[in-house]
Amino acid sequence: MFKKVIEINPYLLGTMSGSAADCVYWERLLAKECRIYKLRNKERISVSAASKLLANMVAGYRGMGLSMGTMICGWDKKGPGLYYVDDSGLRLSGNMFSTGSGQAYAYGVMDSGYRYDLSVPEAYALAQRAIFHSTHRDAYSGGTVN
């Protein structure tokens, strides 16, 4: 069973929804490219650049049957960043995303509890509730939440 969150580097995480094989392959490839970037540039890649890199890599395979929706989130010089990237190369920046078959349940919880000034404990509690409802109410969710 696959974990739903993949560490790209100590400052970047990617989530998995869609085909586990597609998600694992592309996020591992992204991790490799991020390591190469750090070696060449003597600094780690930004969250924005990592998400753009992933979007550009998968865009070349648009229409070829990929099944992937991922969130790239992390921390860089500019602060926190959250991006959604899908299998067509679509890339969106935002404060809140949910992907996969349980997203409607997660959005229901987040829409009722999200506000911009959440404290860290409040944000953790909201995220835990959203994940709980999206995985336990949705019959198609698989894998484990780590």
65-91 pLDDT, tens digit per residue, is 888 889 999 999 999 999 999 989 999
What is the pTM (predicted TM-score) of this model? 0.82
Domain 1-97 belongs in CATH node 3.40.190.80: no
For the cut 90, the answer to whether the pLDDT of residue 22 exceeds it is no
**Considering the chain, what percentage of its residues have pLDDT values greater than 70?**
92
Contacts (Cβ under 8 Å, ≥6 apart) of 140: 101, 102
Contacts (Cβ under 8 Å, ≥6 apart) of 24: 2, 6, 16
Query: Shortest CA distance to 136 belongs to which of 111, 110, 101?
Result: 101
Helix (H/G/I), strand (E/B), else coil: 87 = coil
Task: Encode pLDDT of 85-141 as tens digits.
Answer: 998 999 999 888 888 777 788 888 888 888 889 999 998 898 888 888 877 776 666
Map out the domains of the chain as residue ranges: 1-97, 100-146
- The answer to whether 4 and 66 are in contact (CB under 8 A) is no
Rounded Cα–Cα distance for residues 132 and 128 (Å): 6
Q: What is the pLDDT of residue 40?
A: 97
Q: What is the pLDDT of residue 19?
A: 80
